[in-house]
Amino acid sequence: MNVTTRKRYSAEFKAQALELVDLGKPVPQVARDLEIGSDLIYRWRRTHAQSEQGGSSGQGAVGDRAAADELRALRREVADLRVENDILKKAAVILGTKPQSKPGK
């Protein structure tokens, strides 16, 4: 059985590779010079671009990464609470009690 280990590159190395590409060198040439695959450089460039956009995914959270993560967690919690509320309403109907109506409706 042949076990291969994946090489790990430092953030500094990745930044230098991306800087060479930004200076106008073609990606395949930079990859050859650094003795790495060109697909790595494309992946690093894609993840770097995503991190510069705020790191938010999903429903378009805006701001820094911490705020986007908090917003995502709060949205997930609201969705969970809505599901739990629907379950309780159905249980109330099954048990024969009326669910409480909201004031103003």
Model pLDDT for residues 4-38, shown as the tens digit of each residue: 788 889 989 999 999 999 988 999 999 999 999 99
Query: Can you read off the two tokens belonging to residue 33?
Result: 């010079």
How many beta carbons lie within 10 A of that of residue 100, not counting itself? Answer: 8
Whether residue 105 is contained in a domain is answered as: no
Domain that holds residue 21: 8-52
pLDDT at 96 over 70: yes
Tell me, yes or no, whether 76 and 44 share the same domain.
no
Tell me, yes or no, whether 22 and 46 share the same domain.
yes
Whether residue 75 is contained in a domain is answered as: yes
Tens of pLDDT, residue by residue over 35-78, are: 999 999 999 999 888 887 755 555 444 557 888 889 989 999 99
Query: Can you read off the two tokens belonging to residue 34?
Result: 């650094």
Tell me, yes or no, whether 48 and 12 share the same domain.
yes
Whether residue 47 is contained in a domain is answered as: yes
Tell me, yes or no, whether 48 and 76 share the same domain.
no
Tell me, yes or no, whether 12 and 31 share the same domain.
yes
